[in-house]
Structures are given as C-alpha cells and as structure tokens.
Amino acid sequence: MNAFQQIIDWMPTLINATGVTIALSVTSVITALILSVFLALGKISKFKALRYPSTVYVFFFRGTPLLMQLFFIYYTLPNLIPSLTITSRFLAAFIAFSLNVAAYLAEIIRAAIQSIDKGQMEAAKSLGLSYTQAMMLVIIPQAYRRMIPPVANEFIMVLKDTSLVSVIALTDLTFQTKIIASNRASSLVYIPAMIIYLCLTGIFTIVFNRLEKKLSIYE
Amino acid sequence: MKKILAIGLIAMMSFSLVACGGGSKENGSSSSARIDDPLNFDGASVAVQTGTTAANSINKLKEDQEVDVHEYEQITQGFSDLKLGRVDAVYVDSVVAAYYTNDSKDFEMTWKSDEGEPMAICLGKDNEALFNAIEAGIDTLYYDGTMAKLADKNFGEDFTADLREVTEKPTIPGGYKTIAEGTLTVGAEVGYPPMEYTTEDGKDFVGFDIDVADALGELLGLDVKFVNTSFDGIFAGLEKGQYDCIISAVSITKDRQEKYLLTKPYVSNALCIVTQASDK
C-alpha cells in the first residue's frame, strides 16, 4: 500500500514530463512529414539538382546517430558559429528530431509512391494529366494508405527515442524517472513510467488504426 | 482531402506555437542580479548534476523560491551551458568549482557554503573487513604525506589539509575479500574534473580519486580496476555488487551514512555557486 501511495505521489511530476515527450514527438513527426514529402519527391525526381541534395540529406541523417546530431546542434554549433546558439532546449531537440525523422520518413514515402503500379501513372498520362496532376490526383492518394503502418511504426520509435534528450538536460519522461529514482533512491518509479509509455503507444496505435481503416475504403 | 490538409496545417501551427512558448520559458533568463547566495536563486536558471547533494539541496530550495532547475547527467555540460549563457549559475561541489574558476576568465565563484560537506569512500554495509583496510590505507597516505602530494598535483591547493591527524604509522588489517580476487574494483563516474576525468585523448582516467585509488591499491597489494558508472546509478551499482567501493567524490550525508559504510573524510568540500565572470 505504501508503494502504491508513493506511485500516486510521483504521478503529477511524471505527467508533467510526459507533456514534453508528447509535444516533442508529435511536433517533430508532423514537421518531418511535410519535409519528407519534398525529400521523397526529390529522390525520385528526374532532375539531378533535386535528386542529389535529397539523396545526400537522407544519407547524412540516416548515417549518423540521432544522439550525435542532438549534441551537434546543441553544443557544437554554438561553438562554431555563435549566432546559431539555440537557448531553448526544446527548440534544439525539436530541430534535431525533425531533421532526423524526415530522412526516415522520406524513404517510407518514396517506397510507398514507387509501390503504386506503373500502369497508374501511364494511364493518368494517357488521359492527358501532367506529371504534377498525376502525382497529386492519382499516385499520392493511393500511396497514402500504404504509408500509414510504417509511419505509425516510426512515430512510436520517435516517442521512445525522445528519451535521448536527457543529454541536453531537457527533462522528458525518461529523464524525470531517472531523476526521481536517484533522488529518492527508489527504482519503483520505473513501473508507473513504463505504464505511461504503454498508454501513450496504445493511444497512438488506436489512432493510426482508425486512420488506416478510414483511408482504405477504396481498396 | 483539402479538409485533412487544412486540419493538419492548423495542428502544425498550433503545435509550433506551443513549442515556441515552451522555448521562451526555458531561455536562460539573464537576470541582472548577481547570484551570490542560494537564497538569491529566485528567478534564475541553475544547473546541477542529477543525484548529487547539490541537486538535493536545490530541490529543497525550490519549495520557497522560483528556481528554474536544470539537471544534467554530467556537470561538465552544465559548465558548457553556463559559458554559452543558457544557465545563470552552476551549483556544484567546491573541488569542481575551484577547478573551473582557477585561472579562468569565463567563470567566477560567487558563494561557498559555510557548512562543509567533505567527501568519503563508500562501501556496502556488509564489507567491514575491506572498509577497515581502506580506512587504514587512507590514514597511511596521510601519514607519509602522499595525500598532500596528490592534492597539490590535482588541485593546486591542499583540500586534504587538517582532515586527519595521523601521528603513528597505521597497520593495515588483512582478511578482506574483493569481488575479483587480487583486484580492487572501484566504481567512479568519470567526468567530474578534477576528481575523475579522462585525458584529452580520452584514453586514460586521471584525477585525484583515480590517484588515491591507485595509491590504495598499491598499499593493499591489489590491482585497481575502474568501473565507469553514471552518478545517478552509482549507489545502486554498489548494492548490486558491481564494485567493491565507490571512490567518486561522494559527499558525506546522513542518508548515505545510514545505508552504506562511509570512511572518515579524505577531501574537504562544500557547495558552491559558479557564475559567468562579472567583468566579462
């Protein structure tokens, strides 16, 4: 009973920190989605001027650890270029996560677009649609649905990867849990923290399932 | 389709607003008042290391003041942020404060606690034989002047003076056991200069505690092996038997004395406030 009381006492602090976890993962995934559409279209573009930068971008952000990107933006950049000092820890984390996640999402979107049968594009073109029209009206609406499961997967990964922000002293759910564990010398706090993570991923899984069903009515 | 897009954009914009709002709150508030006392922390952002006595102390102060506390896994990052102006002050042990403020144009020490918080070597409750051997070992280091030499080498000033009066050469009792035979396994959080940190090439551990551990190992006839552990989990590691003792700038507190065996002090220490140098 005593342990239960302790867990109840910790809840407000933990839920406060959960706010950072949710805000960071949701904002960065949404920003990354927008960015990644351009990256994906760039990667499958015929023009080298679009294809090469996108390819290099994805190569760089997938090829280096997120932890180091976070360190780089928060600690290294201000030392190289003082005017790029980001004082807000949240903003620094948001930028690092958005840029990193965009690289992964770009590949997901590219795969989804290329999984649509070539005949669709040919048919659209033979009906007199331009490339842009065919993409916007025919290909992307179909690719939408196929993107949802991998995007959901990526989102849940990001939700848990946000625990990396402790390196820049931003207090998210994981760091708050560690702080409580060390201050009170009690490792019981990991139980409510894990339950909160489970609830979060549970909620978002349901949301994505609904979304998938809704978007697949034509299949 | 357009509706979904519109909703998405609205969500995105509101979230970025939230993000910016959160950001401005976290900004290192450049309060003009000089922070020269923990009672003046009101409105300031202060860096501490998780699990240290400074963190415990500031969390108590938080009950009466509006302090924007930033907990770090390593205090070295707190000093990086202080230099960049992201925090107003670092609340830290005086041995570390001295390391950063001596010969530094960037930082200055604005306050030092009158209440000493000396440091000790920490062992598990059930390890009395080794405890006695280590205690006698420290006495020996004081007796033959090694401690003063090591302090001079690492601190530039003698933080070990007046802690112990050893007039007779102590005898080191035997009969102790270590986790690995013939080896003293030491838990330390390497990243706390000048107590324990790595050389510039990152290969070797150096610092006062490292030297003390090596000297103790020599006296006890044991090899010394360091286990690098983060400080917020260092006591849990001792309980799990991952190392024989902690030699990692452990301040003596009542709480710790109840749970573990702490030697008599071997380094004097007190909490300090470090800020950016005022003439900068």
- Among chain B residues, CA nearest to A78: B84
Q: Give the mean model confidence (pLDDT) for residues A70-75.
A: 91
Q: Give the mean model confidence (pLDDT) for residues B248-270.
A: 92
Number of C-beta neighbours around residue B149 at 10 A: 15
Q: Of A79 and A94, which is predicted with more confidence?
A: A94
DSSP-derived letter for residue A57 is H
Residue A89 to residue A165: CA distance in whole angstroms: 9
Interchain pair A185, B11: CB under 8 A = no
Q: Quick check: A171 contacting B, CB < 8 Å?
A: yes
Assess whether pLDDT exceeds 50 at residue A161: yes
pLDDT > 70: percent of chain B = 88
- The pLDDT confidence band at residue B186, using thresholds 50, 70 and 90, is very high
The reported pLDDT for the residue numbered B21 is: 44
pLDDT in tens, A174-208: 988 888 887 766 778 899 999 999 999 999 999 99
Interchain pair A179, B71: CB under 8 A = yes
Candidates A26, A91, A175; nearest CB to B15: A26
Give the residues across from B267 on adjacent strands.
Answer: B119
Candidates B23, B56, B80; nearest CB to A90: B23
Q: Are strands B119-123 and B68-72 parallel, antiparallel or unpaired?
A: unpaired
Closest approach of B74 to chain A, Cα-based (Å): 9
Rg (chain A; Cα; Å): 21
Closest approach of A136 to chain B, Cα-based (Å): 11
Candidates A90, A183, A187; nearest CB to B19: A90
The reported pLDDT for the residue numbered B60 is: 87
- The pLDDT confidence band at residue B9, using thresholds 50, 70 and 90, is low
Assess whether pLDDT exceeds 60 at residue B28: no
Q: Which whole-number Å values give the CA distances from B211 to B23, B141, B146, B186, in the listed order?
A: 43, 11, 10, 12
Q: Where are the domains positioned within chain A?
A: 2-215
Closest approach of A91 to chain B, Cα-based (Å): 6
Interchain pair B73, A166: CB under 8 A = yes
Query: The tokens of B21 are what?
Result: 């709002």
- For residues B29-56, one letter each, b for 16 or more C-beta atoms within 10 angstroms of the residue's C-beta and e for the rest, the string is eeeeeebeebebbeebbbbbbbbbbbbe
Nearest 5°: phi and psi at B175? 80, 15
Contact A197, A173 (CB under 8 A): yes
Q: Is B170 helix (H, G, I), strand (E, B) or coil?
A: coil
- For chain A, give the mean pLDDT: 89
- Among chain B residues, CA nearest to A27: B15
- Among chain A residues, CA nearest to B230: A182
Among the residue ranges A147-156, A208-217, B17-26, the one predicted with the least confidence is: B17-26
Contact A118, A138 (CB under 8 A): no
Assess whether pLDDT exceeds 90 at residue B32: no
- Among chain B residues, CA nearest to A74: B81
Closest approach of A126 to chain B, Cα-based (Å): 24
The reported pLDDT for the residue numbered B215 is: 94
Q: Give the mean model confidence (pLDDT) for residues A100-120.
A: 93
DSSP-derived letter for residue A103 is H
- The pLDDT confidence band at residue B30, using thresholds 50, 70 and 90, is very low
Q: Quick check: A141 contacting B, CB < 8 Å?
A: yes
Assess whether pLDDT exceeds 80 at residue B116: yes
Residue B96 to residue B272: CA distance in whole angstroms: 9
User: Please, what sign has the CA dihedral across residues A132, A134, A139, A140?
Assistant: positive
- The pLDDT confidence band at residue B5, using thresholds 50, 70 and 90, is low
Assess whether pLDDT exceeds 90 at residue A97: yes
pLDDT in tens, B58-110: 988 888 889 989 999 889 889 989 988 889 999 999 989 988 998 788 899 99
Assess whether pLDDT exceeds 90 at residue A30: yes
Q: Which whole-number Å values give the CA distances from A153 to A29, B100, B232, B241, in the listed order?
A: 12, 45, 32, 38
Hunting for tokens 């770009």 — which residue is that?
A: A106
Q: Is B112 helix (H, G, I), strand (E, B) or coil?
A: strand
Q: Of B2 and B36, which is predicted with more confidence?
A: B36
Residues on chain B touching A175 (C-beta within 8 angstroms): 71
* Chosen from A18, A84, A87 to mutate, greatest number of chain B CBs within 10 A: A87
- The pLDDT confidence band at residue A218, using thresholds 50, 70 and 90, is low
Among the residue ranges A154-158, B155-159, B259-263, the one predicted with the least confidence is: B155-159
Assess whether pLDDT exceeds 50 at residue B29: no
The reported pLDDT for the residue numbered B25 is: 39
* Chosen from B81, B91, B235 to mutate, greatest number of chain A CBs within 10 A: B81
Candidates A75, A88, A167; nearest CB to B73: A167
Closest approach of A94 to chain B, Cα-based (Å): 8
pLDDT in tens, B188-216: 999 898 999 998 888 899 999 999 999 99
Checking A135-139 for CB contacts under 8 A at 24+ apart, the result is A135/A41, A139/A113
Residue A33 to residue A38: CA distance in whole angstroms: 9
Candidates A31, A182, A183; nearest CB to B233: A182
- For chain B, give the mean pLDDT: 86
The reported pLDDT for the residue numbered A105 is: 95
Residues on chain B touching A187 (C-beta within 8 angstroms): 236
Q: At what angle do helices A48-63 and A89-114 cross, to 10 degrees?
A: 120
The reported pLDDT for the residue numbered B73 is: 87
The reported pLDDT for the residue numbered A217 is: 67
Candidates B18, B28, B231; nearest CB to A87: B28
Please identify, in words, the CATH class of the domain defined by A2-215.
mainly alpha
Closest approach of B181 to chain A, Cα-based (Å): 30
Question: Which structural domains are found in chain B, ordered by start?
Answer: 32-116+270-280 (3.40.190.10), 119-264 (3.40.190.10)
ipTM: 0.73
Q: In degrees, to the nearest 5, what angle opens at C-alpha B262 toward C-alphas B256 and B266? A: 120
If 0-12 CB within 10 Å is exposed, 13-18 middle and 19+ buried, where does residue B236 land? middle
Smallest Cα–Cα separation from B249: which of B199, B197, B188, B204? B188
The reported pLDDT for the residue numbered B27 is: 42
Q: Quick check: A87 contacting B, CB < 8 Å?
A: yes
Candidates A85, A91, A187; nearest CB to B84: A85
The reported pLDDT for the residue numbered B23 is: 41
The reported pLDDT for the residue numbered B4 is: 64
Closest approach of A92 to chain B, Cα-based (Å): 9
Hunting for tokens 């950016």 — which residue is that?
A: B276
Closest approach of A162 to chain B, Cα-based (Å): 15
Number of C-beta neighbours around residue B244 at 10 A: 26
The reported pLDDT for the residue numbered A154 is: 93
Q: Give the mean model confidence (pLDDT) for residues B148-167.
A: 87
Q: Is B123 helix (H, G, I), strand (E, B) or coil?
A: strand
Residues on chain A touching B22 (C-beta within 8 angstroms): 20, 23, 88, 90
Smallest Cα–Cα separation from B190: which of B99, B275, B87, B73? B73
Contact B170, B203 (CB under 8 A): no
